[in-house]
Amino acid sequence: MKRYNAFELKLFMALLMVLDHLDHIPGLLPPWWAEIFHVLTRCVAPFFAFMAVEGFIHTRSRARYNVRLFLWSGIMFAGNFALDRLLDVESLTVYNNIFFTLAMGVLALNVWCYQPKCEKLSPKAVAALKVLVAVPVTLYACVAYEGSNSVVPFMLICYFLRDRVKARNIAIIVLSALLLIPTIQIYPSMETTLKMMMFNSDWLVFTALPFMYLYNGERGPKTAFSKYFFYVFYPAHLWLLAIIGYFAMAA
């Protein structure tokens, strides 16, 4: 099962990511195709969350890793803002920024894993301090931005149950079930009901599990390209699709 390294799996996820965002070009996809692509690509965000946890575990500096995620989230916020003002078309607004969600998740992990060096603090005092700081940070991270209510809990599960795979899988399935409950609403037609469940699809986080089993634990190429490709590709493909959509509307 464990056949592919992190870079290879991320490349595949990047392809799926493009499929999910093709509907940013008005009229390119029939509505049902857009919904189907949306469902098929629900594994992307949780898989990148899993990879962020792997990065957190193996990085030389967890602080620098966290700062890098926040830096790229800031770059994307700025790029989104500039592009939205330039195009000035509401339907082409780019609001995505998974970097910020991942950065908040890594921040929550950093707070939970932080070990104060003060020798005057007892283990009970350290535990109490962590609860006082980590719980509010984690709760805020879970509601902060795009997909946070599913991605951040997914990251916490992947980290704290990293050595207990069966327990991790059960926890992820339970998380999916908890996220599914609020989406179950009956609309006037079955078609509308299905479309809404496909649209509000954070509950499909469990679809990342097969790809997690394909991961062989290796990073892949250790080059600047492999390190920064996804930081650049994610915002660039969204901005490019918005620009193409703008000219398609003008034609």
Give 136-177 pLDDT, tens digit per residue.
777 767 776 666 788 889 999 999 999 999 999 999 999 999
Q: Per-residue pLDDT tens for 194-247?
A: 777 777 788 899 999 999 999 999 999 989 999 899 999 999 999 999 999 999
Confidence of residue 126 (pLDDT cuts 50, 70, 90): low
The predicted model gives 118-137 an average pLDDT of: 69
1 occurs within a structural domain = no
Q: Find all residues with CB under 8 Å of 44, minimum gap 6, and list them.
A: 13, 16, 17, 20
Provide the b/e sequence for 49-74 (b: ≥16 CB within 10 Å).
bbbbbbbbeeeeebeebbebbbebbe
**Which carries the bigger pLDDT value, residue 193 or residue 241?**
241
Q: Are 148 and 101 in contact (CB under 8 A)?
A: yes
As a whole number of angstroms, the distance between CA 131 and CA 143 comes to: 18
Ramachandran class of 147: left when φ > 0, alpha when ψ lies in -120 to 50, beta otherwise: left
The pLDDT of residue 3 is above 80: yes
Provide the b/e sequence for 197-207 (b: ≥16 CB within 10 Å).
bbeebbbbbbb
Handedness of CA 15, 19, 20, 22 (dihedral sign): positive
3-state secondary structure of 236: helix
The DSSP secondary structure of 66-85, one letter per residue, reads HHHHHHHHHHHHHHHHHHHH
The predicted pLDDT at position 25 comes to 87
For the stretch 187-193, contacts whose Cβ atoms lie closer than 8 Å and that sit 24 or more positions apart, written own/partner, are none
190 occurs within a structural domain = yes
85 occurs within a structural domain = yes
pTM score, whole prediction: 0.89
The predicted model gives 69-83 an average pLDDT of: 96
- Return the DSSP state at 135: H
The predicted pLDDT at position 210 comes to 95
The pLDDT of residue 103 is above 80: yes
| pLDDT more than 70, % of the chain | 89
Strand runs (DSSP E) across 166-247, as ranges?
Answer: none
Strand runs (DSSP E) across 194-242, as ranges?
Answer: none
Total tally of structural domains belonging to the chain: 1
As a whole number of angstroms, the distance between CA 54 and CA 62 comes to: 11
The predicted pLDDT at position 119 comes to 59
Range of the domain at 123: 6-250
Q: Are 51 and 151 in contact (CB under 8 A)?
A: no
